[in-house]
């Protein structure tokens, strides 16, 4: 199992990183952009894409139905950009939250099994970039704890420890989507790069919707990221003036160039019901990334998206 110091050394190296992209692709449009960011970067080799359910209501949400919507959104991205499942396989994720399973059992799924298979077959560490709830990768770990020896989880979720509300009952989509999964991810010896959301964290990454118009290309993929995808959230007038928070770009950015965030090694907090954090001076060490450089990250992401759609 890699130590935080070894992970940092690897992230800072020029080695091309093997990646599985795991996201709630039918939530907001930063997930699709994060996937394209990975696919267009010369520093990442994506070997699989996993669908996850996004948070609506942690009790009432139909996890299976929402996960399938994310799976279909992956298919839509593939259709517009000319990708095929033979080139890059994609997988259905958990149909239930670990939080809702009897005895908090793992949620077995093709996505979880894909993570296990990749961990055992790869000759190098597999970075699982999770831009939604961490159900799939935590389930994979619970099904086969030995995968911790060859994976690194990069999770965009939870609040920054600098946020005083993190120690009270709080709301953040990716942690509320499956609190028990987040508890396990923080508690167990799973190599982790923790990229919290909200102020001080990945929510500090933003761009104007009109910035999508910078993506050049005379093809369906370029048109998808220029106009079709943004139109999911804004109309033509809002496209010119409205700002879009792009939290999920932090996942690829931390693997591509960790200098684009403030990176440190910290003691993992305990996640309690609420959810809320409790500081643990005896906790395990994890990598922690905050205060992202929004301008650098969004510029690099747009460059890589353009490169991907015009490949």
Assess contact for 97 and 122: CB atoms under 8 A.
no
How do the domains of the chain map onto residue ranges? 4-309
In this prediction, residue 293 carries a pLDDT of 98
Assess contact for 118 and 48: CB atoms under 8 A.
yes
Tokens of 95: 């149909």
Sign of CA dihedral 126, 28, 236, 198: negative
H or E stretch covering 289: strand 285-290
Name residue 310's beta-bridge partners. none
Superfamily holding 4-309: Ribonucleoside hydrolase-like (3.90.245.10)
Could you report the per-residue pLDDT of 31-80, keeping only the tens digit for each?
A: 999 999 999 999 999 999 999 998 755 555 688 999 999 999 999 999 99
Whether the bond into 275 is cis, omega within 30 of 0: yes
Nearest-angstrom CA–CA distance, 77 and 36:
9
Distance separating the N- and C-terminal Cα atoms of the chain = 35
* Cα atoms found within 13 Å of the Cα of residue 166, Cβ hemisphere only: 21
Nearest-angstrom CA–CA distance, 103 and 268:
24
Say yes or no to pLDDT of 22 above 60: yes
Could you report the per-residue pLDDT of 175-188, keeping only the tens digit for each?
A: 999 999 999 999 99
Say yes or no to pLDDT of 9 above 60: yes
Residues 274, 52, 159, CA angle at the centre, nearest 5°?
A: 35
**Nearest of 183, 124, 180, 182 to residue 150 by alpha carbon:** 124
| Helix intervals (H) in the chain | 4-11, 30-40, 63-81, 110-121, 135-143, 173-176, 179-187, 220-223, 236-241, 250-256, 294-309
Could you report the per-residue pLDDT of 112-145, keeping only the tens digit for each?
A: 999 999 999 999 999 999 999 999 999 999 999 9
**What percent of the chain is modeled with pLDDT above 70?**
98
Mapping DSSP to helix (H, G, I), strand (E, B) and coil, where does residue 180 land?
Answer: helix
pTM of the complete model: 0.97
Q: 63-99 burial, b if ≥16 CB within 10 A, otherwise e? A: beebbbbbbebbeebbebbebeeeebebbbbbbbbbb
Burial of 273 (0-12, 13-18, 19+ CB in 10 A): exposed
């Amino acid at each position: 199992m890699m130590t935080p110091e070894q992970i940092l050394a690897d992230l800072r190296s020029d080695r091309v990183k093997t990646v599985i992209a795991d996201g709630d692709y039918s939530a907001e449009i930063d997930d699709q952009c994060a996937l394209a960011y990975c696919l267009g970067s010369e520093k990442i080799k994506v070997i699989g894409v996993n669908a996850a359910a996004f948070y609506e209501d942690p009790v009432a949400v139909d996890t299976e139905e929402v996960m399938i919507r994310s799976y279909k959104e992956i298919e839509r991205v593939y259709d517009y950009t000319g990708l095929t499942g033979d080139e890059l396989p994609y997988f259905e994720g958990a149909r239930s939250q670990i939080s809702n399973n009897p005895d908090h059992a793992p949620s077995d799924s093709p996505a979880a099994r894909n993570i296990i298979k990749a961990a055992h077959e790869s000759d190098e560490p597999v970075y699982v970039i999770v831009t939604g709830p961490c159900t799939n990768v935590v389930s994979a770990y619970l099904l086969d704890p030995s995968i911790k020896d060859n994976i690194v989880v990069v999770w965009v979720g939870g609040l920054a420890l600098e946020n005083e509300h993190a120690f009270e009952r709080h709301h953040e989509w990716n942690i509320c989507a499956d609190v028990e999964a987040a508890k396990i991810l923080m508690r167990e010896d799973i190599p982790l790069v923790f990229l919290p959301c909200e102020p001080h964290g990945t929510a500090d990454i933003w761009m104007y919707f009109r910035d999508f118009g910078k993506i050049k290309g005379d093809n369906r993929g370029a048109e998808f990221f220029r106009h079709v995808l943004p139109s999911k959230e804004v109309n033509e007038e809002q496209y010119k003036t409205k700002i879009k928070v792009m939290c999920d770009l932090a996942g690829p950015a931390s693997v591509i160039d960790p200098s684009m965030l403030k990176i440190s090694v910290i003691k993992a907090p305990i996640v309690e019901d609420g959810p809320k954090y409790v500081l643990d001076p005896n906790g395990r060490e994890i990598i922690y990334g905050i205060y992202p450089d929004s301008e650098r990250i969004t510029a690099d992401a747009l460059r890589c998206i353009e490169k991907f759609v015009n490949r």
